[in-house]
Every structure is written in C-alpha cells, then in structure tokens.
Amino acid sequence: MRAAMLHDFTRGPVLEDVTVSAPRAGEVLVRIAASGVCGSDVHAVHGKANVLKNMPMVLGHEGAGVIEEVGEGITDLKRGDPVVIAMYGPCGLCGTCSSGKLHFCEGPEMRSVYGEMPDGSTRLSLNGTPAYPFVGVGSMAEYAVVRRSMIVKVKPDLPLDTLCITACALTTGLGAVFNVADVRPGATVAVIGCGGVGMSVIQGARIAGATRVIAIDRNPAKLDLAANLGATHCLTASDDGAENIAAVKQIVPRGVDYAFEVVGSKALIQQGLAMTARGGAVVMIGVVPWGEDIAVNAGLMFDRRLLGCLGGHNIPGREIPRIIDLYQSGRLKLDELVGHKYPLTDIREAFANAEKAEDIRTVVTIDPRLL
C-alpha cells in the first residue's frame, strides 16, 4: 500500500510502498477514505511530538474509512462497515478501566501511543524493516490495522472526509469542556488559540450553555470563524501578556470561570491563570514538551485549579457517537472546520498548507470511491 512515511526531521513526509499484514485476533484492517492533518502530525514532522520513540513512522491519526477485513473473534463488524478510528482504545481489564476510568487505561494496549501493538509488534513493514503507525493509527495510508477497541462504527450516509476530524480535534476539544472542566450553564470561558481543537472548545462551551465565550488568537480569519461557531467576544492576541489579561477582564472583570490553553505554551498557561476568577480552572490542552517545567505564581493558585487534559479524557465509544449526534442535530458545526483537501499523492502540499495554519483542518483524501 501507499503511505506517507516519516524517516527523519529533515526530509518531511515521503510517499512510499509499505507492506501491511493481515489483522490478528481482536484487530481489524481498515481501508482509509480520508485523514485530517492535525497539528500533532505537523509537530511530528519537525521532531516536536512527545511520542516519537519508533521510526520510520506512518503519519496520520485522524482517520475514517471502511472495514476491509476483521481478525479472529470479531463478530460485530463486517467488510464495508463505515468507521472512524479513535486515537486509542482502552483495554477494559486494568485497574483503572475496571473502576470505570477507561480514559486512564494502564494496560499494554497503551503502547499504541508509540505505534506498537500490546506485545510490541507492528503490522507494517518497509523493505522488511518494521514501520510504526503514528499513535497506533497511521491514517495517511491506504490501509491501517488497529485494535477493535479503537473502532467506532458510524452510519453509512455520513461524509467520511468530515468525520475523520472527529478522531482528535473534536474529541479533544469537546472532551476538555464536557469531561475535564465540566462547564455548566452560565459559565464564562476564555479560549487561547483557535485552531481545530480551540474551535471545538468554543463550540463545546456554547453547547454547554456558557454565557460568555472569549476567543483569543492572532489570526483575524480564525476569529471571524470563532464568532460564527459561538464565541461571544473575539480578541486579537498581543505579544504583551498583560494586555491579553486586561482585555479579558474588561469583558469579565472578576475573571473567567474557565480558561482553555490550546497552544502548548507555558507563558500562555500563566496568562490563563491570571485571566481566571477565584474558584475557576485553567485546562491545559496544548502539548507542552513533557520534560519542561511550568512555573506559576503561587498566589494565583489559591482557589484555582490547573487541570491537565490528554485527548479530552476520551472514551471512543462515548465521545465519537456524541459528536455525531450533535452534528446531525445541527448543534455542532463540522463542515465549516474542513478547509483544503489534497489527494495522498500531494502529501507534501497538504502538510505545507497545514503549516500555514490558514485552514482549521486540512484533509487528505485517500480513497475517493469511499466518499
């Protein structure tokens, strides 16, 4: 099969022929229809992702397609079923899964974050050498082999080149609002960074009933879209953090109930705390390098919370169906988030477009027959 490969951090993505093995017990083979180009994919190309343990790597982790083949023991899926591939799948057996906290799974299945099956193997190879799917998905390819728990079946009449972005941007952003912060009606919210995840936070805050949703970004076009998606106020970000804080407090003098940092900057996390009212919370969604310390003002931590957020505390079988229900009911806008689309053969152009960050989400169409 053809796949977008990453070998190092100088050449960028290259299209190559990769061998894919048949799915084993509890696994499925998915023919990919489309894949979003997430900021995490761009970070990976530049060596800035936190999960680059194994190379070479098949890029992509926002994938949708149809079932091509199922492994032994799978009876609830069949060839041709349309599906979204989630970023991970809980084991259901470890201590945290047994206690109902599936999003904190500690089983060997979590090795998928490094592109490994639970036993450390991979179903992909390049010229006889193991190749690894990015965070266990590798959706910028004609096929992907994943565990059954990473698969969410969807209705056949839905656009897969739109649904693919639900696998990361939407589950992370909406999950941050619904699962991590638990935003309630009447709350006030600031969203720092209006990319795909930030726009999802804005929509989630609107759906949750927030009365003020303040979008903060440098890009005027993104702020225009943020207003269309539910932001009640839009602020052009300043290099001076004090100006950003003051602008928020002109709108909500006591500070917001929730600030969502969606960039991955410790300076912006600090600003978020200063924007937040007593009793409020800052949710860290943007990925700061794992080895980096975040220094915060001790006085601001009194009666405030700083919350980490990995994937929006995503449980695939809960999040993706909820997103689709909101989309079909008209409460959640997805089509507006998808910008330019490129065929897999133009993978370098797709990444170049994603780098410009003018589109909320660039999409790679891999098998147009499935769209």
Structural domain span for residue 187 = 173-308
pLDDT, one tens digit per residue, over 10-54 is 999 999 999 999 999 999 999 999 999 998 899 899 988 878 889
The mean predicted confidence, pLDDT, of the chain is: 94
List C-alpha distances in Å: 298 to 65, 295, 305: 48, 9, 12
14 and 154 part of one domain: yes
Please report the pLDDT score of residue 333 as a whole number: 96
Tokens 């390049």 belong to 126
- 82 and 32 fall within a common domain: yes
Q: What is the pLDDT of residues 330-369, one digit of tens each?
A: 999 999 999 999 999 999 999 999 998 888 999 999 999 9
Q: Report pLDDT digits (tens) over 131-167.
A: 999 999 999 999 999 999 999 999 999 999 999 999 9
Q: What is the mean pLDDT of residues 78-105?
A: 91
Mean pLDDT for 78-100 is 92
Neighbours of 257 (CB within 10 A): 22
Distance CA 19, CA 334 (A): 33
Are both 162 and 209 inside the same structural domain?
no
Q: Is the pLDDT of residue 197 over 90?
A: yes
Whether 126 contacts 166, CB under 8 Å: no
pLDDT at 108 exceeding the cut of 90: no
Residue 185's pLDDT band, with cuts at 50, 70 and 90, is very high
Considering the domain architecture, whether residues 23 and 162 belong to the same structural domain is answered as yes
- 259 and 330 within one domain: no
Question: 220 and 335 share a domain?
Answer: no
Question: Model's pTM, two decimal places?
Answer: 0.92
Domain count, the chain: 2
Pair 146, 43 in one domain: yes
Q: Is the dihedral of CA 257, 261, 265, 268 positive or negative?
A: negative
- Per residue in 257-308, pLDDT (tens digit) is 999 999 989 899 999 999 999 999 999 998 777 777 888 888 788 889 999 9
**Boundary residue ending a domain (308, 328, 358):** 308
